[in-house]
Amino acid sequence: MILSFLIAILFLGGVLAWCSEYWHPDAARWVAILTLIIEALLLLGQYIDAEPVVMGSPNMPQNWLADYYHTWIPRFGIAFHLALDGLSLLLIALTILLGFMAVSSSWTEIGQRQGFFYFNLLICLAGIVGVFLAVDLFLLFFFWELMLVPMYFLISIWGHENRSYAAVKFFIFTQVSGLLMLLAIVVLVLINHHHTGVYSFDYFTLLNTELPPRFAFWLMLGFFIAFTVKLPAVPFHTWLPDAHTQAPTGGSVILAGIMLKTGAYGLLRFVIPLFPDAAMQFAPIAMTLGAINVIYAAAMAFAQSDMKRLIAYTSVSHMGFILLGVFSWNIIGLQGAVITMLAHGVSAAALFMIAGALQERLHTREIGRMGGLWAILPRLSALTLLFAIASLGLPGLGNFIGEFLVLLGAFKVNVLLTCVAALGLVLAPLYALLVIQKALHGPLQNQAPLFDVNRRELTSLGLLTLVTVWLGLHPGAVLDISDPVLQWEMQLSAVAP
């Protein structure tokens, strides 16, 4: 039952935040904070009390930690079926953490319609948590679409100068790819019905569907495109730089830190387990796309003068490592993909928070107009340096562990693509040092009085600092949580019909 509360609390908190605007102008953000605190306590309680379960579906394995099943539309085999395992637990924890960061970074930036802003923020988080919990494919599609609408409003209402174009582009790309996934889901269900005589959208039931190879390939491709558009991967990535550049800081934190990870999660949870043979045949192409992602996006990041756009391209580059790790399909590559999902979520969120803080102070995103900041903003500059070198993969920080494991896992499968992707580790310092040199050092470009990070900003960025250092020094805690489900998925694909 707690699993349904994890979604319901965010819905109710969003509605309450919207209504609270009429009581006091600043009440909405405190309602959002309180909602996320309750959400965090619920998840912690679920983790502490979790025991392996077999409920909801007769095919459900024992390594899942919690399960909630309620019949929804029995005529078509649709149920409100939620389940929690180690992978979804880690990603929901990341969602809650970055939810706090999104509220913190919006504290002074959002001055109008605060209630509606935090309503959309919390509803977007509810949709994301729903994606991480749904094990009914119709329910998955429902939450997949649900998270898009509030993000559209966050960009189109509270975004920057070209926000309408960016919001529409984001919505078109993600909506069209989502409809492609819906088509693949329906065809998969109909094929299963043809074999069994029963309609079912249940994930654990559909895992056993016998598919002709040609059907399996095209259905796999439908899921793959939907998830790689959200990841995003080249050539489906063009919506992301525009969306990040125009989104408010809180929207960028959610978009880069969590929403992109729903695409990676979909590849891990659905694409390969549902279509193991087709996915393995497609793996060389997917890994090639991952290597191209790493190199192309890193080169594009080096060419940017807009700080938020530069960070957006670094996100595309890091998602290439995840694509490479997932389709290497060995435990080392998969663990590397999971660590990269978490570490990139933290470092990218921090960089977008820093970019938002600089834009709020300097009224510009242009790196060329930010020179000499270390002299007047030493604490903010030091944090910028920390997360810039975290992004480039400095040993001792979380990103390094993830990228190292991905390359190690991919090396076992394809040496050439691994060597190509490793060039990204050379290009990453170039764009990171570009930001550090042009923005933090050199002659002072802005003579206006500026204030360094306040206690709220220092607390938020300090917490993200602790998380990225902890991931770099103690990744074993995360690996132990994710290992059982990754082992199960690999075993599942090995015995697939």
How far lies 234's CA from each of 19, 148, 225, 245, 311, in Å?
Answer: 41, 21, 11, 18, 16
- CA–CA separation, 385 vs 432, rounded Å? 9
Where along the chain do its domains lie? Answer: 1-244, 275-497
- CA–CA separation, 360 vs 200, rounded Å? 51
- CA–CA separation, 390 vs 112, rounded Å? 34
The SS3 call for residue 343 is: helix
Residue (of 7, 8, 11, 31) closest to 114 by Cα position = 31
What does pTM read for this prediction? 0.94
pLDDT value for 496: 43
- CA–CA separation, 318 vs 322, rounded Å? 7
pLDDT tens-digit series, residues 325-360: 999 989 999 999 999 999 999 999 999 999 999 988
The mean pLDDT values, 10 residues at a time, for the chain of 497 residues are 91 94 86 96 85 55 79 90 92 96 92 91 96 95 94 93 91 91 94 88 88 89 94 88 91 93 94 91 93 91 88 91 93 94 94 92 85 87 91 89 94 92 84 83 75 91 95 92 88 59
Give me the sign of the Cα torsion angle 192, 196, 199, 200. negative
Answer whether 341's CB lies under 8 Å from 286's CB: no
- CA–CA separation, 157 vs 171, rounded Å? 14
The SS3 call for residue 134 is: strand
pLDDT value for 164: 92
pLDDT value for 497: 39
Largest CA distance in the chain: 74
DSSP 303: T
- CA–CA separation, 16 vs 123, rounded Å? 11
Q: Token pair 């990204």 is at which residue?
A: 424
Residue (of 300, 303, 173, 318) closest to 236 by Cα position = 173
Task: Tell how strand 66-73 and strand 78-84 pair up.
Answer: antiparallel
pLDDT tens-digit series, residues 150-178: 999 999 999 988 899 999 999 999 999 89
For 128, list phi and psi in degrees, rounded to 5.
Answer: -65, -45
pLDDT value for 50: 65
Answer whether 147's CB lies under 8 Å from 178's CB: no
Report the phi/psi class of residue 197: left, alpha or beta, with left for phi > 0 and alpha for psi in -120 to 50: left
DSSP 306: B
- CA–CA separation, 481 vs 388, rounded Å? 28
How far lies 276's CA from each of 60, 197, 213, in Å?
Answer: 18, 24, 11
